[in-house]
């Protein structure tokens, strides 16, 4: 994931995106949680990050996902 040109480090971007997607929070709630963690963001910034980086995060997750059935076959 290329975050070049953004003011925040990759870890901050991923945290905000994770909060929004994992817990299906409204953008303003994700903004509030990030504020409690010491990061001042606008909810619109989080929204732009979600739209921009969600496809990249999904593609990385698909690459790392392993086959499910293989381990069950060995146990039987």
Residue 58 lies in a domain: yes
| Whole-prediction pTM | 0.75
Do residues 2 and 57 make contact, with C-beta atoms less than 8 angstroms apart? no
Which letter does DSSP use for residue 6 in this model? Answer: -
Q: Domain count of the chain?
A: 1
Q: By residue range, what is the domain housing residue 33?
A: 10-63
Tell me the C-alpha distance between 71 and 46, whole Å.
38
pLDDT at 31: 95
* Per-residue H/E/C for 42-68: CHHHHHHHHHHHHHHHHHHHHHHCCCC
Q: Which residue has the higher pLDDT, 70 or 11?
A: 11
Contacts (Cβ under 8 Å, ≥6 apart) of 35: 41
Of 73, 14, 25, nearest to 49 (Cα)? 14
pLDDT digits (tens, 9 = 90+) for 3-43: 677 788 999 999 999 999 999 899 999 999 999 999 999 99
pLDDT at 43: 95
């Amino acid at each position: 994931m290329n975050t070049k040109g953004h003011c925040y480090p990759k870890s901050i971007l991923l945290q905000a995106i994770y909060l929004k997607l994992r817990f299906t929070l409204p953008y303003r709630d994700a903004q509030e949680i990030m504020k409690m963690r010491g990061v001042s963001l606008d909810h619109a910034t989080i929204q732009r990050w979600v739209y921009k980086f969600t496809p990249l995060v999904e593609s990385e997750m698909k690459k790392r996902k392993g086959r499910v059935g293989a381990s069950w076959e060995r146990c039987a």
